[in-house]
Amino acid sequence: MAAKKKQQQNVAHATTVASEESNLLRSMVHLLSSAGFDQSLELKTSEPDMAAAVVWGRHEGVETPRILALVLPAGAWGRANADEVQVLSYSLPPPETQADQYPQFAVVKDAEGKLEAFFDLAYPPHQIDKLPGLAEINDYKRIKADPTYRWSMRMYDRLMKGFNALHERIYQTHKDRVNGKNDIIEEVAKLLFLESFRLHHAHELGALTFAHDGKQLDLKDVFTAAHVKANGAKAVAEIQSAFEHFKLHPDYVVTDDAGEKHAIFDKNAHLRLAQPGNYEAVLSLIQDLGPVTDNQGNTVKKQGTLADIAADVLGRAFDVFLRANFESKGGLGIYLTPAPVKQAMLALAFHDIKESTEDAARLVARDGKGRPAFRFCDPACGSGGFLSVALSHLRRTLDELGGKATATDEAKKKLFAEMCEHSFVGADSSPQMVMLARVNMALLGAPKARIFYTQNSLISPQLEPGTFDLICTNPPFGTPKFNKGQEEAKKAHEEAMEKILATFRSDLTERTGRGGGFDYSPTVTGLAMGGKPNSKNVWKEGSTNIDPAVLFIDRCLQLLKPGGRLLIVLPDGVLCNSGDSYVREYIMGTKDDATGEFHGGKAIVKGVISLPADAFKLSGTGAKTSVLYVQKRHARRDDPEKFQDEPQTDVFMAVAETLGYVVKNNVEDYSAGVPNDLAAIVGAYVRGE
């Protein structure tokens, strides 16, 4: 009787929508009801032909998390992506909705009922292959909703539209002192840094003062749209001086494993924008945010700032701005791994970390200096895409783990803050991308993430072998082609490669009196891909024409702790070509035909996922790639430099044909209605299928 009365009250809140969409929505609600989610509230929508409802149930006397049932208007399937659906999950429910009653999952259909997608809306929001059932949905631990998160989501929408408008303004209508689209992104990043600095040091006496033209100025006075509007070029000069003063601030200096220090900006980096109107536009966008409201619409602060926006929202806005506007010509697009690929790789890794008692314990352990022991690395980090997604997965994982280290909200918060400073390491040979990665992580609340420039991650002492628990990376691959007349460049490349290859032979011992060559004996922190075995299993010096992807496999295995995990994007040739069979044997060992066991390898292969041929089309390459997932073998207790002879388990193999979008006019188009196969693949892996 009580349930019937509640349903009658819900009907009073319902709003009339177009009959087709309304009928489809009722069908969705009925289907969910038959699965046990028998409570529903139809939602008011301001958009024509959109229909929505919140659905939930009870299991063992406890209400389940809410599910958003959503029917999109005809032709709007491009909005069926995790970010947009999450925005709708916060904007559609009425203002009186309690913080823990916003939808945590979503099922979305198109107006014709032909297309369907499912989403987990907890940060980072991502597509899944199906909704959890009534009996399992309460096992999903939810991050407690921020009381102003709904406001943050509105700011996300504002920033995304504003960033894109700024990019077009500076590139098309108010051209400034930049050479191209990527320079505009860099200039916006510099101004975001200054605003972040202004906000986080506002209460420190004298922290915002700087010298300009013989005077002492304060950043909070000059770094405003109103000041620029009133003072024009004079204000621009003052802001440029402020950047020069604060860009090397010690709070943003990090130290690599070799002890070298790195500021967030190079000493030669300068603010290049010169037009006051462009400064005014940027500052108005990031400062004039209006009042902060709670999830019920009540004002809690008269004037909001970037510091009030939830870190995950702000960081995601910057990441999407990067991906949408970064110019991929000239090979630079190799840094931008598609979002579904990053999400899938990190989802697999953190699922296994949570499932392993040993790994879960290591995740919250301390090192000998009392710092978090867990370390994540991307040795070819680009703009920090893997680092930012890993940070988000870590936040969720800590919330889900039990134990003393995460026993209270305060303990989790303290541990996460320390891990933001000590647990994330990235390196790249592009100073511009390193800077963008630093700003990206700073906006996520990790300004001291240890991201730095390195000439070559393959040989740099800035990354210490045997110290990382998890590596996710999309390294450069493919060998350079030299045309006629480029003999000197070819010779220089070969000489440089030979020096690198010489460092990749520490596990090879020279043979004497037996025709030369090397013997191979694997060690926990050794390297061997600077050589190659012949048909008699005698190792010889390798060719300088080797694909760098092979060297990155070897280097990543060296960097991992025993038992650490590696997920790496590789060209299919490394995994399939007969000429690279020695690489595969190097990883997993050789097979004993009598027992079926593999012996002598450095890692256990956990999975191989084939990616679509156009996965990196936006990067200007049609190379066919796959994700290789391996776990480094454990070390022997009696000899820590030797591996245990652990058994190779079954290998999870899957093929992703589409990533949820098609590439049209150099843009990821989600409106085509193609599935994100990686969501289904991750779901199958998690369920052990």
506: left (phi over 0), alpha (psi -120 to 50) or beta: alpha
pLDDT of residue 6: 38
Instruction: Assess whether pLDDT exceeds 50 at residue 9.
Output: no
Please state, in angstroms and rounded to a whole number, the distance separating the CA atoms of residues 246 and 190. 11
Asked whether 518 and 506 are in contact (CB, 8 A), the reply is: no
Quote the tokens at residue 234.
């004079």
How many CB atoms lie under 10 A from the CB of residue 206?
Answer: 8
Asked whether 440 and 388 are in contact (CB, 8 A), the reply is: yes
H or E segment to which residue 531 belongs: strand 531-533
Radius of gyration of the chain (CA): 27
pLDDT of residue 140: 53
pLDDT of residue 408: 82
Ranked by mean pLDDT, which of 196-205, 295-304, 608-617, 649-658 comes out on top? 649-658
The amino acid at 509: T
H or E segment to which residue 225 belongs: helix 225-231
> pLDDT tens digit string along 266-313?
889 999 999 999 999 999 999 999 999 986 788 999 999 998 988 777
Top pLDDT among 673 and 222 is at 222
- Can you state the angle between helices 311-325 and 431-443, rounded to 10 degrees? 150
Strand partners, 289: none
Asked whether 547 and 325 are in contact (CB, 8 A), the reply is: no
pLDDT of residue 181: 84
Antiparallel, parallel or unpaired: β 58-59 and 62-63: antiparallel
Query: If DSSP codes are grouped into helix, strand and coil, which group holds residue 633?
Result: coil
Instruction: Assess whether pLDDT exceeds 50 at residue 4.
Output: no
Please state the length of the chain.
689
259: left (phi over 0), alpha (psi -120 to 50) or beta: left
Query: DSSP letter at 292?
Result: E
Query: If DSSP codes are grouped into helix, strand and coil, which group holds residue 62?
Result: strand
Please state, in angstroms and rounded to a whole number, the distance separating the CA atoms of residues 28 and 70. 9
Which long-range CB contacts under 8 A does 57-63 form with residues at least 24 apart?
57/134, 59/134, 59/135, 59/137, 59/138, 60/138, 62/138, 63/39
Instruction: Assess whether pLDDT exceeds 80 at residue 617.
Output: no
What residues contact residue 484 under an 8 Å CB cut-off, 6+ apart? none
> pLDDT tens digit string along 174-195?
889 888 888 999 999 999 999 9
pLDDT of residue 13: 37
Please state, in angstroms and rounded to a whole number, the distance separating the CA atoms of residues 567 and 427. 16
| CATH code for the structural domain at 2-145 | 3.90.1570
Instruction: Assess whether pLDDT exceeds 90 at residue 265.
Output: yes
Q: Please, which pLDDT band fits residue 18 given cuts at 50, 70 and 90?
A: low
Q: Please, which pLDDT band fits residue 143 given cuts at 50, 70 and 90?
A: very low
Please state, in angstroms and rounded to a whole number, the distance separating the CA atoms of residues 90 and 102. 7
Q: Please, which pLDDT band fits residue 20 given cuts at 50, 70 and 90?
A: confident
Q: Does domain 336-478+547-689 have CATH number 3.40.50.1370?
A: no
- Beta strands, E only, 7-123: 39-43, 51-56, 58-59, 62-63, 67-71, 105-109, 116-120
The mean of the pLDDT values for the chain is: 88
Quote the tokens at residue 466.
């045997």
How many CB atoms lie under 10 A from the CB of residue 291?
Answer: 12
Quote the tokens at residue 670.
């989600």
Please state, in angstroms and rounded to a whole number, the distance separating the CA atoms of residues 250 and 181. 30
> pLDDT tens digit string along 486-522?
888 889 888 999 999 999 999 999 988 767 889 999 9
Handedness of CA 122, 124, 126, 129 (dihedral sign): negative
pTM for the model:
0.85
Q: Average pLDDT, stretch 57-74?
A: 86
pLDDT of residue 228: 97
> pLDDT tens digit string along 551-598?
999 999 999 999 999 999 999 999 999 889 999 999 999 988 888 888
Q: Average pLDDT, stretch 356-381?
A: 94
How many CB atoms lie under 10 A from the CB of residue 289?
Answer: 20
> CA dist 408 to 122, 398, 528, Å?
20, 11, 46
Instruction: Assess whether pLDDT exceeds 70 at residue 139.
Output: no
Please state, in angstroms and rounded to a whole number, the distance separating the CA atoms of residues 506 and 529. 9
Please state, in angstroms and rounded to a whole number, the distance separating the CA atoms of residues 388 and 482. 36
How many CB atoms lie under 10 A from the CB of residue 640?
Answer: 12
Asked whether 577 and 482 are in contact (CB, 8 A), the reply is: no
Q: Average pLDDT, stretch 598-609?
A: 94
Q: Please, which pLDDT band fits residue 536 given cuts at 50, 70 and 90?
A: confident
Q: Average pLDDT, stretch 312-321?
A: 78
Please state, in angstroms and rounded to a whole number, the distance separating the CA atoms of residues 633 and 645. 8
Quote helix, strand, coil % in the chain, to nearest 5.
Answer: 40, 20, 40
> pLDDT tens digit string along 384-430?
989 999 998 998 898 888 776 777 888 888 999 999 999 999 999 98
For the residues of 104-161, what is the DSSP string, one character each?
SEEEEE-TTS--EEEEE-SSSPEEESSPPPTTTGGGSPPPPPPTTHHHHHHHHHHHHH
pLDDT of residue 259: 96
> Which ranges in the chain are annotated with CATH 3.40.50.150?
336-478+547-689
Please state, in angstroms and rounded to a whole number, the distance separating the CA atoms of residues 23 and 41. 15
Handedness of CA 415, 418, 424, 425 (dihedral sign): negative
Nearest in space to 346 (alpha carbons), one of 424, 249, 237: 424
Quote the tokens at residue 168.
């077009």
How many CB atoms lie under 10 A from the CB of residue 31?
Answer: 13
Q: Please, which pLDDT band fits residue 60 given cuts at 50, 70 and 90?
A: low
Cβ-based burial of 177 (10 A; exposed 0-12, middle 13-18, buried ≥19) = middle
Please state, in angstroms and rounded to a whole number, the distance separating the CA atoms of residues 512 and 533. 17
For the residues of 318-380, what is the DSSP string, one character each?
HHHHHHHH---GGGGGGG---HHHHHHHHHHHHHHHHH-HHHHHHHT-B-TTSSB---EEETT
> pLDDT tens digit string along 537-549?
899 999 999 999 9
> Which ranges in the chain are annotated with CATH 3.90.1570?
2-145
Q: Please, which pLDDT band fits residue 315 given cuts at 50, 70 and 90?
A: confident
Query: Whole-angstrom distance between the N-terminal and C-terminal Cα of the chain?
Result: 42
Please state, in angstroms and rounded to a whole number, the distance separating the CA atoms of residues 455 and 427. 9
pLDDT of residue 28: 94
- The reply to whether omega before 647 is within 30° of 0 (cis) is no
Please state, in angstroms and rounded to a whole number, the distance separating the CA atoms of residues 505 and 503. 6
Question: b/e for 393-428, b at 16 or more Cβ within 10 A?
Answer: bbbbbbbebeeebbeeeeebeebbeebbebbbbbbb
Instruction: Assess whether pLDDT exceeds 70 at residue 232.
Output: yes
Asked whether 453 and 434 are in contact (CB, 8 A), the reply is: yes
